[in-house]
Amino acid sequence: MAEPVLSVRNLNVRFRTGDGILHAVKGIDLDINPGETVAIVGESGSGKSQTMMAVMGLLASNGWAEGSVKYRGEELVGLSPGRLNHYRGSKLTMIFQEPMTSLDPLYRIGDQLALPLTTHGGMSKADARKRAIELLELVRIPDPARRIDSYPHEMSGGQRQRVMIAMALANNPDVLIADEPTTALDVTVQARILELLADLQKRLGMSIVFITHDLGVVRRFADRTYVMKRGEVVESGGTADIFAAPKHPYTQMLIDAEPTGRKEPVATNAPMIMDAQNISVQFTLEKSFFGKSTHVLRAVDDVSLRVRAGETVGVVGESGSGKSTLGRAILRLQPASGMVRFEDRNLMPLDRRGMQPLRRHLQLVFQDPFGSLSPRMTAGEIVTEGLLVHEPSISRKERDRRASQAFEEVQLDPAWRNRFPHEFSGGQRQRIAIARAIILHPKLVVLDEPTSALDRSVQKEIVELLRNLQKAHGLAYVFISHDLAVVRALSDEIMVMKSGKVVERGNAEEIFDRPSEEYTRDLIAAAFLTKDDRNEAAVQPLAS
């Protein structure tokens, strides 16, 4: 085997925090050979990103690295930033998770692409521009000669990620480090980006280090895999071997972490709880001088939705499809036209005050367990806030008892109810958010991507929890998600949304087994490619 391009020996990364020293990466060894794709897999907090940040010398100011990182025999740890810049940006490049924030909004795409070319490549401005257009063509941005002068906000998330890749490729790097490059993107976009990376590697022959928590991506994409847990490499080897015969229980757990099981169907005579007909939501994008709307976006366009007691309706779609807006519209949190009936009451004529007594029956759980809990309240206060509103007569002691009960119900230790949200992990926070919703014994809960921000293994637990709660309380769910695996595990019925319209709806099994629409097939293909052989999947381009 050839000499590794990048070899990491006994790398330690530590951070100085308010609680003492945090040992994030504990003496790991990695080797990256020329032209190979290596995946580093682990859940959040496993130190996979920090390892590569240390390699690139990009650790936060309170962190430091010890050990050895050699790029073609040259030691990188301990180099001054000036010397390090000789390698990073030209020989070692990196793309990040969030394409929305890693491009500077003030500069044109072309200027940002030209920067590494003029600083590292020593090109003139005109040459750099020519090369930038070539690069954009390479990452398959349509009409690159025109798009080179656009600003980042004029491009979609997928296009921005392509620009980031183009920037990383500008100086023909030896190693491209991709830190969760597709996590923030829709599944179909994700598939195309991965395909592009695989294709580029084949053409340019660089090594790719792929940091991800998504095993599906790893299986399709990587030659070798390192599995990290709490700062240590617990298993490494050829990807196929690891998937075929995982040795470490943690790897086994990661591979099995896909939510399993199907929902039992509800009785046909279950009462109708929510009946929403012809819901439309419009956003005014532009107004004329006289206040008339001249440019209107129909975020939700004539959508109907019925939910029976104990039933789960899955709403599937990519970002911008209007699925979250629909969820908020049926709860009357978003002005909409159409008709919404809850049990036997028409909700449309009710104002905010009129809705208030009904709110306890209609609950909402959000995607982001970090943003949906007020950082200045304790978990107990957050969970019992609904009781303050809907059962103002009960005493503080009783509220505390109810909080403990709700904590137990979501399998959290009630002793933690005086802690603050930032002291919990992501999955625990989502449990708190669920406890807040169910403490009022609601009849319908709208779950807006409740598992998307969580690790796979945690997702599985939350799906399990949601299923048990549904059984125990006869809850009806409207489950909004772009993650088809989770939707399949939870839903009776599925609606597929695209650009505000329902393109397909039906029984969960039917939709997955016999999708009738092209778009549904795309979604399913993109989400479940993981099951197929890696090479086959990477070569076959997706229908778009």
Footprint on this chain of other proteins (rule: CB under 8 A): 14, 17-23, 45, 61, 230-231, 331, 333, 355-360, 362-364, 366-368, 371-379, 382, 385-386, 388-390, 413-420, 422-425, 428, 433, 436, 440
Extract the tokens encoding 56.
């690139």
Based on CB atoms, which residue is closest to other proteins, 206 or 383? 383
Q: How far is the CB of 518 from other proteins (least distance, A)?
A: 34
Cβ closest to other proteins, residue 166 vs residue 382? 382
CB hemisphere CA count around 333 (13 angstroms): 11
Closest CB 18 distance from other proteins, rounded Å: 6
Distance of closest approach, residue 28 Cβ to other proteins, in angstroms: 15
CA angle 141/146/152 to nearest 5° reads: 65
Q: Under 8 Å CB-to-CB from 153, ≥6 apart: which residues? A: 105
**Least spacing, CB of residue 509 vs other proteins, in Å:** 31
Pairing mode, if any, of strands 476-481 and 444-448? parallel
Eight-class DSSP state of 128: H
> Residue 17 or residue 260: which is nearer to other proteins going by CB?
17
CA Rg value for the chain: 25
Q: Which residues contact 427 (CB under 8 A, 6 or more apart)?
A: 369, 454, 455, 458, 461, 462
The strand order across the sheet containing 74-75 reads 20-32, 6-17, 63-71, 74-75
CB of 451 to other proteins, least distance (A): 15
- Which one-letter DSSP state was computed for residue 531? G
Smallest gap from residue 147 Cβ to other proteins (A): 30
Question: Between residues 38 and 364, which has the closer beta carbon with respect to other proteins?
Answer: 364
Of residues 9 and 23, the one with the C-beta less far from other proteins: 23
Q: Are 165 and 95 in contact (CB under 8 A)?
A: yes
Name beta bridge partners: 226: 40, 236
**Around Cβ 218, how many Cβ atoms within 10 Å?**
26
* Closer to other proteins by Cβ: residue 333 or 339: 333
Q: Which is nearer to other proteins, 147 or 431 (CB)?
A: 431
The span from the CA of 378 to the CA of 515, in Å, is 45
Least separation in angstroms between CB 328 and other proteins: 8
